[in-house]
Amino acid sequence: MTRILIWLTALSPYLIFAQTSSPISDEEILKEIYTTALVKNQGYKWLEELTEMGPRLTGSENSTKAVYHFQKIADSLGFKTFLQPVTVPQWVRGEAEEANYKTTEGKIVLNPCALGGSIATPKKGLTAPLFEITSFEQLDTLTTELEGKIAFYNISMNPAFINTFFAYSSSAKQRYVGALEASKKGAVGVVIRSLSATINDFPHTGSMTYKGADVKIPAMAISTLDAEQLSTNLNTDPSLEFFMKMNCESKDSVISYNLVAEIKGSEKPEEVIVLGGHIDSWDLGTGAHDDGAGCVHSLEAIWLLKQMDLLPKRTVRVVFFMNEEFGLNGAKVYAKESKKENINHVIAIESDAGGFSPRGISVVAPDSLVASVREFRSLFEPYGLHQFTETGSGADISQLYSKDLVMLGLRPDNHRYFDIHHSAADVIESVSPRELEMGSATLAAFIYLLDKYDVIAK
């Protein structure tokens, strides 16, 4: 008999809930949520399926295929699903980019990538002298120094920030508006140092804008390793010329979709808990961390609660948002349609910070509810979560913001995230199955607790 019970528990840990009439503590329930996630490994299996489909650049065939594929999965799990049409931009990278320059020791060939939304160079490429910019304060002081030159933004992510997202935010301006601002000073092109926290050979892409520009100039990123070498050589020879060639182009907008998967609440179906991530990715890797991890975190969290008969009293929606990377089109459509349909969101959760080990949660809510969320901290400390901050929630769910909405963002360990972010390194091999599953279990546990103790604005 003992062997039978051990076998049943190992096969399906949540069966113990159905076999006992005594109250089950929150500590015991959380333990079984994490155990089930780590034993079943379902989220990682889904992430493998997703990344095997290839990159999911907004507007691409792969991005739409991924939506259809996971709609079938959600249907099979008992969700009611529907697709929300979203008009999205379509930018195509084209043939591989080129970049090089000559030194006294010969030609140095770099490994560049176009920034998302950039125009192409002339067909034969662009050659011009470089001017190095190490801060935006320096840019403001320039008069004619950039005329006819390629602006080389060499602004490092500040290593003094413990949270690398703060370091990223402080240096991202060079990528997003670097071409816009340099064009005002007469530059003919832009090269930026990749937004990466370490010295590596991966160029990192990301979106940029021409909004407000009288003249559009091409913009590319080079790896931090190449940027270090280029800076050294430029200091030795300030007259060196840089060659860049890109074939990217923007095409007409196309229709894509948000995926919405819903399970009605048993007691309060009119109150909705929404959680999700973005299904689109950049095209250099396969978006395993950004944001395949967030999508499977969200789907698996509800799968775990359903498996354990712990579904919330409230209706729960999983949303795979389309086009977070190029303008939040999917999130804006979801918010607009929700308002039109009078959807009463009471809790919104986003995972868009990678699939590394969860370290905490960030909360945007009225002060009393922030305090209520922090009361759960002792339950999560055994699982390595201790950071309960008020540093935002997520870009997609931010479109739903109201003063009465409890908004949470999953905060995984961030030290390695920007080694991978927006680069060819963002592949399934960079994701640890255990770390990914810990994230899914964390979301499931939070939903269970928030719903059980009615941590919502009254």
Cis preceding-peptide flag for 291 (omega within 30 of 0): yes
As a whole number of angstroms, the distance between CA 341 and CA 72 comes to 25
- Which whole-number Å values give the CA distances from 207 to 26, 48, 291, 339, in the listed order? 43, 26, 15, 28
| Sheet strands side by side (includes 219-222) | 106-109, 98-103, 241-245, 126-133, 150-153, 189-193, 219-222, 113-114
Residue 302 main-chain phi, psi, to 5 deg:
-75, -35
As a whole number of angstroms, the distance between CA 271 and CA 250 comes to 41
Taking Cα atoms as reference points, which of 147, 129, 140 lies closest to residue 173? 140
Distant-in-sequence, close-in-space partners of 72: CB < 8 Å, separation ≥ 6:
none
Sign of CA pseudo-dihedral 446, 449, 298, 332: negative
Torsion of CA 430, 431, 435, 438, to 10 degrees: 160
Coil, helix or strand for 224? helix
Q: Residue 334's CB: how many other CB atoms inside 10 A?
A: 26
Q: Is 324 designated active site?
A: yes
Burial class (CB in 10 A: 0-12, 13-18, 19+), 406: buried
Q: Which of 97, 262, 300, 324 is catalytic?
A: 324
Catalytic center residues? 324
